[in-house]
Chain A
């Protein structure tokens, strides 16, 4: 009995040490770590495979690409705290700026070292409506007609929701010729039609898709397609408005880490491959808008019609550093126009 117990314990310890050893030895080949944000998993899973095959064909070397996904800000924080990322592919340039500023591992002028402001793909805000679009919602103006109810998260708590708000603002600015009072009136009307102001994009999707509340959900283009696939294509239609906001999720090489690990060459090739025909095609396939549309066959672009997109750097907003406090800071425009419970 005693012997039995001892040998059991011994076996358990052996198994445990074998596990730990296994974790250490499995990655003798070149390994890249791509630290990314939440919704890019499918895209990078496909892209990593494509790049590994490409690199093998090109150089004969085997490269393993590891991916880490999470909230963009949290991921940036992890890289600052020492997560060994070779490349970062995040949602906002401010997150990469934070890494550059706090660690010096990325040069301050990183934006521009790759084409299209370091954004190999872009995305925008579109409408997810009930099947057949019963309320006839085609453009931003339609969101405030009749009894339309809009679902969008709270821009005070959700990063994604800020893009929704700014997209609406950009349309209104164009429609009302820059008359700020009218723009605010439109935005106020829009948020009065939000029956449930969730704290995050996921909450809003649940409200719209599972609880069946509201007529239109403002969502990221790629998220809208993902939601359609998950909840059934027969439930929703996606409406791409004639104009919207341009989001440029940036990518960057983490110089400090690739030089320490000796992976600069392959990491640089990895990022450049995002701009290749294959990389651009994969981006389009996962409903990100490729930076180089001419490289992608027309049929892959049919779901991503070319529309009028306004950048956050447009003088209308003046970049995040200006737009954030003006619109979403305490006492900012959103606080002025949104008063929960007020009927008129």
Chain B
């Protein structure tokens, strides 16, 4: 059958040799117009995305690899890297749990105030990061209701690690949930209903049905969440207090080094953040590739 079809097709092609212009091409632009459009797009990409990235690496290595490594081994820089990793290690898992819970509730259940909850989840995206930081200053600052009470009990939040973690969690909250809600809504509740009717418990349904369905989307959300958690500047800047070696995250440290004319060190730390962005992009492309298959697979059954 297949062979027959192939033969048929080749006959069809032979019957209408090239040049008869029986079918119009989808694009009618001449090669010059095409070339110009492609060159413009590539030029724009190079100018706004590739060049700045290259500039960061050139500046970082301007005085050689020795200076670059020396800048990264500086104790305050190491402390900044450690703090950034710590904050991400706390904020990302928490947002993973919150994000999955929120997406699960919104996508699989009907309840009053659902639209309101969805709006709330989007809030950190629509609020300026500076405001996100100021919220915590107003909540926990010396002039607030809570601040003096916490201080008298020896609990430090503002201008210490907990404040930075809180601000980061707030800013990165929507990433996982936003990624999962459309996906889970798309998948519907059919699989879960089937599992429940076959006698699975709620946890089993989640663990063996829902989670495998969303795993790639979830990973993708976590990746974006992590990139933002490590790169966040505005909100963290407000609550950090900028104590060197204690509450300076990497993005804050970059700014400080740059303001001190310490360009090599500033760009050396920037390369770490840029490297993180590149790793994120590569992983993201890979996941998109996988994720596409999953969606196609999910749509089939």
- Chain A interface (Cβ within 8 Å of chain B)? 12-13, 15-16, 19-20, 23, 33, 38-39, 41-42, 66-70, 75, 78, 80-84, 103, 202, 226-227, 229-230
Given A20-B161, A81-B142, decide whether A38 and B260 contact each other with a Cβ distance below 8 A: yes
B259 is contacted by which of A23, A38, A42, A81 (Cβ under 8 Å)?
A38
The answer, yes or no, to whether B39 is at the interface (CB within 8 Å) is: no
By a CB distance below 8 angstroms, the chain A residues around B246 are 23, 66
A19 to B256: give the CA distance in the assembly, Å.
23
A83 to B246: give the CA distance in the assembly, Å.
13
Q: Is the CB of B243 within 8 A of A67?
A: yes
Q: Is the CB of A82 within 8 A of B159?
A: yes
Least CB distance from B248 to A in Å reads: 9
By a CB distance below 8 angstroms, the chain A residues around B241 are 68, 78, 83
User: Known pairs A38-B259, A81-B158. 20 more at Cβ < 8 A?
Assistant: A19-B89, A33-B243, A66-B243, A66-B244, A68-B242, A69-B242, A70-B242, A78-B241, A78-B242, A80-B142, A80-B143, A81-B159, A82-B142, A82-B143, A82-B147, A82-B159, A83-B159, A84-B156, A202-B259, A230-B263
The answer, yes or no, to whether B85 is at the interface (CB within 8 Å) is: yes
The answer, yes or no, to whether B189 is at the interface (CB within 8 Å) is: no
By a CB distance below 8 angstroms, the chain A residues around B161 are 20, 23
A202 to B255: give the CA distance in the assembly, Å.
12
Q: Is the CB of A81 within 8 A of B141?
A: yes
A227 to B261: give the CA distance in the assembly, Å.
7
Q: Is the CB of A41 within 8 A of B260?
A: yes
Given A23-B246, A69-B244, decide whether A78 and B159 contact each other with a Cβ distance below 8 A: yes
Given A78-B159, A230-B263, decide whether A19 and B82 contact each other with a Cβ distance below 8 A: yes
By a CB distance below 8 angstroms, the chain B residues around A83 are 158-159, 241
By a CB distance below 8 angstroms, the chain B residues around A78 are 159, 241-242
By a CB distance below 8 angstroms, the chain B residues around A12 are 89, 93
Least CB distance from B281 to A in Å reads: 23
Q: Is the CB of B82 within 8 A of A69?
A: no
By a CB distance below 8 angstroms, the chain A residues around B244 are 66-69
**Residue total for B at the interface (Cβ-Cβ under 8 A):** 29
By a CB distance below 8 angstroms, the chain B residues around A82 are 140-143, 147, 151, 158-159
By a CB distance below 8 angstroms, the chain A residues around B159 are 78, 81-84
B129-169: CB near A (< 8 Å → 1, else 0) gives 00000000100111100010001000010110100000000
By a CB distance below 8 angstroms, the chain A residues around B124 are none
By a CB distance below 8 angstroms, the chain A residues around B83 are 23
Q: Is the CB of B259 within 8 A of A19?
A: no
By a CB distance below 8 angstroms, the chain B residues around A16 are 86, 89-90
Given A19-B85, A23-B246, A66-B244, decide whether A230 and B141 contact each other with a Cβ distance below 8 A: no
Least CB distance from B96 to A in Å reads: 10
Least CB distance from B140 to A in Å reads: 8
Give the residue name and chain of the B residue nearest to A9 (CB).
B93
12 pairs across A/B with beta carbons < 8 Å? A15-B89, A16-B89, A19-B86, A23-B83, A39-B260, A41-B256, A66-B245, A67-B243, A81-B137, A81-B143, A81-B159, A202-B259
A53 to B210: give the CA distance in the assembly, Å.
61
Least CB distance from A226 to B in Å reads: 6
By a CB distance below 8 angstroms, the chain B residues around A68 are 241-244
Q: Is the CB of B86 within 8 A of A20?
A: yes
By a CB distance below 8 angstroms, the chain B residues around A84 are 156, 159
By a CB distance below 8 angstroms, the chain B residues around A13 are 93
